[in-house]
Each structure stands twice: as C-alpha cells, then as structure tokens.
Amino acid sequence: MTAIDYQQIIEQLHHSLSAVEATGETADYIPELAQVDANQMGVYVLDQQGRCYQTGDWQQTFSIQSVVKVLTLCMAYSELGTALWQRVGMEPSGTPFNSLGHLEHEQGVPRNPFSNAGALVVCDVLMGLYDDPLAALLGLIRQTSGNPEIDVNPVVAESEKSEGHRNMALAHLMKSLGNINHDVDDLLDFYFNACSITLNCQDLAKTFAFLAHRGRCPQSDQHILDNSQSKRINAIMLTCGFYDEAGDFAFKVGLPGKSGVSGAIVALLPGHFVVTTWSPGLNAKGNSQRGLQFLEAFTTETGQSIF
C-alpha cells in the first residue's frame, strides 16, 4: 500500500481554517483556560509506519482535559476487565459532558466513562488499584509518548478546583448513591490533576498510538491492552467521545476520537494513523470548533474513515 503524504493536505487545511477569525469560545468555567488565544491551531499526524506530519502550533502545550478519560479507562479496564461495567456503562448519553441528569434515576451508575460522572467513577476505581494513581497515569503517558517531562500544570488544576462545583456535585451525588468508595475531596484532586496534565499535539499522538496498533505501544513495544480491549475502547470513543455531538462526529469525520475543553482532539484510524488537533475555541457542545472542521475536511480529502 502506498503511503499517503499527509503534509500537503494538513498544511493546506490549516492555512484555510486559520485565515478565518476563530468564532469558538474558550472554556470560561475554568479561569485558566479562558485566557488562552482561541486563534491558535496545531495539528499532528502519526502514521502506522511512524512517519509524522505536523503544522501550526503543534509544539504549543495545553492541558489534556477530557482526553485523559480514555487513558484512565484503559488503565481501569486492563486491570478489572468486564467487572468494570458494573460501575459504569458504555451507552452514549446524549447529554452534555458535565450533566447530572440520568444519575439519580440510574442509581449513580453513569451511562459511559467519558462523561465527567463516568470519568470520576473510573478515577475512583484507579484509587482502589494504585497507591498513587496520578503517578501511574503519568507513568503511562510518559512511557507511551516517550516524553519523560510531561507533568501536571498545578495552576490549571487549582483553577479547575476553584470553580469545580458541578464535578463536586457529581461526586457527592454518586457517593450518596454508593458508587464512589473513596474520599470525595481526594477523588476530585486526582481528577483535576489528571485533567491538568500538560502536553502538545506530538505527545498526544504518540500516547494514543497503541489504540491504532491493536493495543501495543510502538514507542515502548509494550502491550497496554489486548487487541479485543483496544477495539472496545475505540468503539466507546466512537459512540461517546464527543458527548451529545458523538453522532455528528461519526457522521462528519467517521473516526473514533475524544475531545477535551482545552480544545484538544485525538482521533484515529486503526492500522493507519493517529491525528491530533488543538485549537482552544469551542462550540456550544464543548468541542473544538476548528478541530472538528479540520477533521471533517481531513477525512474527506484523504478518503479515510472507519466506514
């Protein structure tokens, strides 16, 4: 199979998107994120042979935010296996990322691991599995990215904590319903720190390469997940990765992916590539506006998608 030269495609798409003033809004409920210039945009593509293509602000660092929920899920799933699904479901919620909606009627069991509620439960699981779950998570990211410098930005974590009322409400509600085992403040600390891990588009693409390689990290040659688990994580990304915009993303982009409120998106085509974008202007669903536009055009121009 001849390799696609992505460089020209990504440069041209980046150029045309950057020519228009960003209309998306930065996440204003996290004060530190609100200050970032919404006009920035970085792109990084890592193909299956290890070739990389990059453009724009790909070296600029940002906090990982909800993209981390995929990694915490992988850690919990690889340890617990199917027992994990007693604590959190795998159905799309059709609700915003920070919704409290279904929880009360569904005994505190979140619909899926990519809502904030679901991610909090997964963090609670990890607190039961590791003495220092944040160190374990950082270890996974440093190992898969090959970048030992990656760390938490404590200013972002503090900023999230200062305004984290919905996350506090979610954690307390689930604790009252018996689906959180640990101290709520410790849980929120771990969650806010996990969301505040800071990296760039290259780090993120390398970190996620194992999900395009049947669970094996090409960087370290370690099996993070087995092939079946890797397929299942990709399935949950496809159905739940963009909250109440997951259908739209599948329709327009056609790849498993995950977004975060810092404006980061990771998407991948198993056996072919991982693509990361970062552009902080968000649409009303909390997903990067330019990132979505870029990825729609990228899969259209390259003719590549899981469909």
The one among 112, 116, 159, 289 contacting ligand GLN by CB under 6 A: 116
Instruction: In angstroms, give the least distance from the CB of 120 to ligand GLN.
Output: 9
Instruction: In angstroms, give the least distance from the CB of 260 to ligand GLN.
Output: 4
C-alpha 54/C-alpha 62 separation (Å) is 16
- CB-CB neighbours of 5 under 10 Å: 11
- CB-CB neighbours of 295 under 10 Å: 24
What is 150-214 written as a DSSP string? -EE-HHHHHHHHHT-HHHHHHHHHHHHTT---S-HHHHHHHHHHHHTEEE-HHHHHHHHGGGGTT
**Contacts to ligand GLN from residues 170-199, by CB under 6 A:** 195
The one among 98, 153, 234, 293 contacting ligand GLN by CB under 6 A: 98
Number of helices (H), then strands (E), belonging to the chain: the values are 12, 8
Instruction: In angstroms, give the least distance from the CB of 17 to ligand GLN.
Output: 21
65 binds ligand GLN (CB under 6 A): yes
Closest CA to 121 of 64, 81, 173: 173
Counted residue by residue, the chain has a size of 307
Instruction: In angstroms, give the least distance from the CB of 1 to ligand GLN.
Output: 35
Nearer to ligand GLN among residue 67 and residue 297 (C-beta): 67
**Contacts to ligand GLN from residues 12-41, by CB under 6 A:** none
| Percent composition of the chain: helix, strand, coil (DSSP 3-state, to 5) | 50, 10, 40
Nearer to ligand GLN among residue 90 and residue 169 (C-beta): 169
Structure tokens belonging to residue 300: 């259209």
Question: Which positions from 205 to 244 touch ligand GLN by CB under 6 A, shown as an x/- string?
Answer: ----------------------------------------
Closest CA to 30 of 157, 148, 130: 157
C-alpha 246/C-alpha 183 separation (Å) is 32
Closest CA to 85 of 47, 66, 123, 113: 113
Closest CA to 62 of 157, 186, 199: 199
Count, residues near ligand GLN per rule CB under 6 A: 11
The one among 286, 288, 289, 291 contacting ligand GLN by CB under 6 A: 286
The one among 6, 58, 77, 97 contacting ligand GLN by CB under 6 A: 97
Nearer to ligand GLN among residue 26 and residue 66 (C-beta): 66
Nearer to ligand GLN among residue 53 and residue 97 (C-beta): 97
260 binds ligand GLN (CB under 6 A): yes
3-state secondary structure of 57: coil
261 binds ligand GLN (CB under 6 A): yes
The contact set with ligand GLN (CB under 6 A) reads: 65-66, 97-98, 116, 160, 167, 195, 260-261, 286
